[in-house]
Amino acid sequence: MTSWNAEDDKLAVLAKGARSRVQAKIGAALRDETGRTYASAEVEVGSLKLSAVEMVVAQAVASGSTGVEAIVVSPANEFSISDSALELVRAFAGSDIPIYVIDETGKPVDSRLT
């Protein structure tokens, strides 16, 4: 597991909050290169389905971010980080970005580097 820190604890709270706010199955939070944070949940409207990672990366891009320090994903059930999520983060922010999956207590249970 990569290096979890106190700032990642904050992302865990944001990811869990984004998920519970709209009763989504998955929420995500991102800290950009300047320390700004973004949080979102997965979205499904008709045939459109965007993952929580896609949503939070889109928010960061729309806000002018140019990099990512870390992403935390809060699933309601078992979840693994998809290859498409890794590729999206890699395309936006490069390699070696940690993406953590947390459990209900907010502790990391899985992580990957892009």
Pairing of strands 108-113, 98-102: antiparallel
Structural domain boundaries, residue 97: 6-113
Q: Is 35 domain-assigned?
A: yes
Q: Is 98 domain-assigned?
A: yes
CA distance 37 to 23: 21
Q: Is 1 domain-assigned?
A: no
pLDDT tens string for the chain (114 positions)? Answer: 569 999 999 999 999 999 999 999 999 999 999 999 999 999 999 999 999 999 999 999 999 999 999 999 999 888 878 889 899 999 999 999 999 999 999 999 999 898
Q: In terms of Cα–Cα distance, which of 64, 79, 93, 88 is closest to 15?
A: 79
Task: Report the number of distinct structural domains present in the chain.
Answer: 1
Name the pTM for this structure: 0.93
Q: Is 53 domain-assigned?
A: yes
Can you give the CATH number for the domain in which 73 is found?
A: 3.40.140.10
Q: Is 32 domain-assigned?
A: yes
